[in-house]
Amino acid sequence: MSSGRSRDDTMASFRGEALSWELRDGVIELALHRPPGNEIGTLILCELEKFVEGLEEITRQAHALIVYSTIKAGFSAGADLRELFDGAQRVSKTEAVRGVRDFLERIHRVMNTIDALPLTTIAAVHGVTFGGGFELALVCDLIVADKMARFAFPELRLGLIPGFGGIPRLKRDLGNAVVRDLLLTGRSFNAAKAQSAGLVSQTVAEGESLRIARSTAAQLKKFDRQTASAAKRFIKPVPYDELKRSRSGTKKIRGEHRRATVLAVSVGWVSDPPRPVKGTSPHELRVAISR
Amino acid sequence: MPSPNQTLREVLDLAAAHFKVPREKLTPDDDFFKTLGIDSLQALDLLTRLEQHFNVELPDYELQGVSDFRTLADRIQARR
């Protein structure tokens, strides 16, 4: 079926090539079904835009949104890098950069709209939940994960920074996701759960910490240093403003925090094939921070 | 702590059971991609099952270049 709305489709129900949605008993279910791995390219983006366009109409009748995948491999393998790369080969470098930026701005609008929806949103994930797929899950209020789900941001392997807004959302949600789980469900945690909430990065066998730290350090060495450094600045900035407020004893936080959205365009990527970063291969990153 | 040999046996048992391969066909030095007939996505599935079975974490990069059951079991043993 074409991605356009058929005669039988209403805003409460739609079946496209890449995704479908249905409003039933106050719950909107958004299913991703674009083989092989729900890669987020132009088709999924267009249908997600169609979805968010109609949300104002159907959210009045809904209290929850569930996003899930019908693909066996998993929730989503992330951005369709092959499509973006192939597209970039057919145009000039300037047009390619503009095209990537336009794509990122559009996906950010979709992500931000779902993120701010006035209903509870749940990502029901299984299998591969990588890169842009992980970022899509992160816009939801709750992530319900099949025990076989795997999460990853493999972008650095390609000399990229996650560009769909995943970094600021990860910063927001690590810890906060646990708080929301406690607050919204009223559940209790045991010590093991508290450990899994993120106080420790890895757990290893007795006497193995140094060897595995060395193994980890060896892995880090494979990435382009500037790219890794740029990623670190996003994920771990010194919170000067918050430190200043705590020093001055200010209790009131003025206004609503404006979340920064991050657009990261790797000029090296749009002019060269995606490839693992090894050694010190330079990748010029053009990073635009929009609010 | 369980012995390395026990860990290896459990890895072979789990792989044989999950991918429905006769246990006697698997040996420690087999290339598990070939013996099990699996692709990288299925290898990721095996990795997740091993993590759950042994209650350990196995970062992908710890397994780069690993394709035989014995080395795989060694990596697991280091985290038990």
The DSSP result for A40-97, as a single string, is BSHHHHHHHHHHHHTHHHHHTT-SEEEEEE--TTEEE--B-HHHHHHHHHTS-HHHHH
Q: Mean pLDDT across the stretch A110-128? A: 89
Residue A1: predicted pLDDT: 39
Q: Give the domain extent around A130.
A: 13-199+221-237+257-290
Contacts of B56 in chain A (CB under 8 A): 203, 205
* Amino acid identity at B49: R
Residue B54 sits in a domain whose CATH number is 1.10.1200.10
Helix (H) or strand (E) holding A24: strand A19-24
Q: Does A205 participate in catalysis according to the annotation? A: no
Helix (H) or strand (E) holding A29: strand A27-32
Give how far A76 is from chain B: nearest CA, Å. Answer: 13
Q: Count CB neighbours of A209 within 10 A.
A: 12
Query: What is the complex's ipTM, to 2 decimals?
Result: 0.76
- Token reading at B61: 């990069």
**A207 domain residue, yes or no:** no
The least confident of A87-96, A259-268, B9-18 is A259-268
Structural contact between residues B79 and B56, judged by C-beta atoms closer than 8 angstroms:
yes
Q: How many domains is chain A partitioned into structurally?
A: 1
Q: Give the domain extent around B72.
A: 4-77
Residue A37 sits in a domain whose CATH number is 3.90.226.10
Q: Mean pLDDT across the stretch A97-119? A: 91
Q: How many domains is chain B partitioned into structurally?
A: 1
Active-site residue (options: A18, A87, A96, A135): A135
**A180 domain residue, yes or no:** yes
Q: Give the closest residue to A269 by CA, choosing from A248, A283, A279, A281.
A: A283
Burial class (CB in 10 A: 0-12, 13-18, 19+), A7: exposed
Burial class (CB in 10 A: 0-12, 13-18, 19+), B57: middle
Rounded to whole angstroms, how far apart are CA atoms A24 and A246? 47
**A165 domain residue, yes or no:** yes
**A204 domain residue, yes or no:** no
Record the pTM.
Answer: 0.73
